[in-house]
Structure 1
Amino acid sequence: MTRFTNLYPVWLVGGALLSLLYPSAFTWFTGQWIVWALTIVMLGMGFTLTIEDFKRLFRMPGCLTLGFLAHYTIMPLTGWGLAHLLGLEKGFAVGLILVAACPSGTASNVISYLAKADVALAVSVTLTSTLLAFIATPLWCQWLVGHRVPVDAWGLCLSTLQIVVAPVLIGVLSNWLFPRQVAKVSRFGPVVSVVALVLITCGIVSNNAAAVMANAGKLLLAAVLLHVIGFVLGYLVARVLRYPELVARTVSIEVGMQNGGLAAALAKKNFTMEPLAAVPAVFSSVVQNIVGSLAAAWWRKHPVTPEVKTVETSSKRSA
Structure 2
Amino acid sequence: MLDIITRLFPVWAILISIVAYCIPQGFEGITHWTASLLMLIMFAMGVTLSSSDFKRVFFQPLPVIAGLVLQYSLMPLIAWLLSRLLHMPQELTIGMILVGCASGGTASNLVTSLARGNVALSITLTALSTLVGVFATPLLLRLYVDAKVTVDMHGILKSIFQIVVFPVGAGLVFNYFFNRKMDSIKRIAPLVSMFAILFLISGLIAVNTKTILSLGPLVVAGVVLHNTIGLIGGYWGAKLFRFDEATCRTLAIEVGMQNSGFAAALGKLYFMPLTALPGTLFSIWHNVSGSLLASFWINHPIRTVPNGGDDPLQSRHNPI
Please classify the TM superposition score into its range, dividing by the shorter chain length: over 0.9
Percent identity for Structure 1 against Structure 2? 36
SS in 1 for 2:29: coil
Q: What are the equivalent positions in structure 2 for 1:117-196 lying under 5 Å apart?
A: 117-147=117-147, 149-196=149-196
Q: What are the equivalent positions in structure 2 for 1:197-212 lying under 5 Å apart?
A: 197-212=197-212
Which amino acid is the alignment partner of residue 49 of structure 2?
L
Task: Give 1:303's aligned residue.
Answer: 301
> What is the number of residues matched between the two proteins?
310
Q: What are the equivalent positions in structure 2 for 1:1-319 lying under 5 Å apart?
A: 1-31=2-32, 33-147=33-147, 149-271=149-271, 274-307=272-305, 310-311=308-309
CA deviations over 1:172-208 (Å, ceiling 9, x no partner):
1110101133222232212211111111111111111
The answer for unaligned runs of 5 or more in structure 1 is: 314-319
Which amino acid is the alignment partner of residue 21 of structure 1?
C
Distance in 2 (alpha carbons) for counterparts of 1:118 and 1:129 = 16
Which amino acid is the alignment partner of residue 293 of structure 1?
S
CA shift, 1:148, in A, is 5.1
Distance in 2 (alpha carbons) for counterparts of 1:308 and 1:293 = 31
SS in 2 for 1:242: coil
Contact 2:302/2:310 (CA < 8 Å) preserved in 1? no
Distance in 2 (alpha carbons) for counterparts of 1:190 and 1:202 = 18
What CA RMSD, in Å, does the superposition of the two structures yield over aligned residues? 1.6
Distance in 2 (alpha carbons) for counterparts of 1:49 and 1:236 = 28
TM score, norm. by length of structure 2: 0.93
CA shift, 1:309, in A, is 7.8
Contact 1:99/1:263 (CA < 8 Å) preserved in 2? yes
CA shift, 1:146, in A, is 3.9
Which amino acid is the alignment partner of residue 197 of structure 2?
L
CA deviations over 1:120-178 (Å, ceiling 9, x no partner):
11111111100111111001110111425211222222211110121111101110101
SS in 1 for 2:59: coil
Distance in 1 (alpha carbons) for counterparts of 2:203 and 2:120 = 33
SS in 2 for 1:132: helix
Contact 2:304/2:310 (CA < 8 Å) preserved in 1? no
Q: Which moved more, 1:246-255 or 1:177-186?
A: 177-186
Structure 1's consecutive aligned runs of 4 or more residues displaced over 4 angstroms after TM superposition are none
Distance in 1 (alpha carbons) for counterparts of 2:214 and 2:22 = 14
CA deviations over 1:199-255 (Å, ceiling 9, x no partner):
111111111110112111111111110000000011111112222222111111110
Distance in 2 (alpha carbons) for counterparts of 1:308 and 1:9 = 38
Distance in 1 (alpha carbons) for counterparts of 2:187 and 2:238 = 34
TM score, norm. by length of structure 1: 0.93
Distance in 1 (alpha carbons) for counterparts of 2:307 and 2:133 = 32
CA shift, 1:312, in A, is 5.9
CA shift, 1:308, in A, is 8.0
Contact 2:204/2:277 (CA < 8 Å) preserved in 1? yes
CA shift, 1:258, in A, is 0.3
Which amino acid is the alignment partner of residue 298 of structure 1?
F
